[in-house]
Amino acid sequence: MNAPVNELRLENAAWAAAQPRLSVLIPTFRDDPSALLKALDHTNAAVEVVVLDDGGGDDALAERTARRIEKMRTPARFVRLSRNEGRAKGRNRLASHARGGHFLFLDSDMLPDTPDFLDRWSAVADTGAAVAFGGFTLDQTPQRPEHALHRAMALKSDCTPAPERAKAPEKHVFTSNLLVRRDVFETVGFDEGFSGWGWEDVEWAMRVARQHPILHIDNTATHLGLDPAPVMAAKYEQSAANFARVVASHRDVVSAYPSYKVAKLLKAVPLISVWRPLLKQVALAEAAPVSLRAFAMRLYRAALYSEAV
């Protein structure tokens, strides 16, 4: 039997007296949120920040984060867990610390693209919006050779302007830059049956979309945390079980996605156990053209997902 998760808390001087309308919720796992916290620091008493160290186990990083929280003018709380709870459960726990009427989920490796980022989100919250996604870019992300594949794939499929995202609103929802009204989240939280990486945010959006409109706006933040190709492949391998969970509950929605359609086609191709590893080899081959590697990685992901369709 697992021991219960211990939770340590630290608040800065501005926390106790604050009456926030917007709670910025930042989960982190072995990532340094310092750049994001610096960008969010301001004197707007209507905003608070909560950072969750989801059992990262890095004492030095936790100490730096705690000191940064203490120095912030923005009301802020730091929560540190004794062990990792995962993406879905960790975000649900984060929300339990929030006092605002709206929650803004921001990943710790994000960085606002404009100085008025929080002001714009506050204005959206003031309209009473149920759910809104602001989008993300790679505008401030350093270009590094080991991230070339992730950059190419993200620019093609993830860094999408609001009008395009709005065509399939639930599909283009990520917890990297997501506004949720409190009562909506209290009714529809993240499914804690998901484990590892992937799909818990899109599945959440599928359930929310049945009850509330999902607004897409262009209030972007840069995703700084691109992965090397081997890490991408490992995450896709982790996500296959999560994709199967989505298919089991939302086949009517996910069957319209290209990833599902390609997986369905690949399911009928013989000897998948033989050629699937070859796709991964091509995707990881740094000497190959990036466009070919990206095509191979997408096919590899679909081949992994073919077992669920």
Give the model confidence (pLDDT) of 201-224 as tens digits: 999 999 999 999 999 999 999 999
**Which pLDDT belongs to residue 295?**
96
Tokens of 288: 């190959």
The arithmetic mean of pLDDT across residues 127-137, rounded, is 97
The arithmetic mean of pLDDT across residues 91-109, rounded, is 95
**Which pLDDT belongs to residue 20?**
95
**Which pLDDT belongs to residue 86?**
84
C-alpha 221, offset from chain centre: 12
A 10 A CB-CB count for 55 gives: 17
Query: Is residue 297's pLDDT more than 50?
Result: yes
Strand partners, 181: 102
Binning pLDDT at 50, 70 and 90, where does residue 1 land? very low
Tokens of 18: 């604050």
The arithmetic mean of pLDDT across residues 124-132, rounded, is 96
The arithmetic mean of pLDDT across residues 73-80, rounded, is 95
The arithmetic mean of pLDDT across residues 111-116, rounded, is 95
What residue has token string 């818990």?
Answer: 200
Between helix 272-284 and helix 229-254 the angle, nearest 10°, is 130
Percent of the chain at pLDDT exceeding 90: 83
The per-residue b/e assignment along 137-161, b for 16 or more CB within 10 angstroms, e otherwise, is: bbeebeeeeebbbbbebbeeebbbe
The arithmetic mean of pLDDT across residues 193-206, rounded, is 90
Query: Is residue 4's pLDDT more than 90?
Result: no
Return the domain boundaries, the chain.
7-226, 232-308
Report the distance separating Cα 285 and Cα 246, nearest Å: 31
CA atoms within 13 A on the CB side of 48: 27
Least confident of 85-94, 162-171, 203-212: 85-94
**Which pLDDT belongs to residue 2?**
57
Q: In whole angstroms, how far apart are CA 254 and each of 85, 185, 245, 248, 307?
A: 26, 22, 11, 10, 15
What residue has token string 């994001």?
Answer: 36
Q: In whole angstroms, how far apart are CA 78 and each of 43, 63, 109?
A: 18, 10, 17
Note whether 7 and 54 are within 8 A (CB). Answer: no
CATH superfamily of the domain spanning 7-226 = Spore Coat Polysaccharide Biosynthesis Protein SpsA; Chain A (3.90.550.10)
Give backbone dihedrals phi and psi of 125, rounded to 5 degrees, phi first. Answer: -60, -40
Which amino acid is it at 226? L
Whole-structure pTM value: 0.92
**Which pLDDT belongs to residue 145?**
95
Percent of the chain at pLDDT exceeding 70: 97
**Which pLDDT belongs to residue 43?**
65
**Which pLDDT belongs to residue 45?**
66
Choice between 2 and 240, residue whose per-residue pLDDT is larger = 240
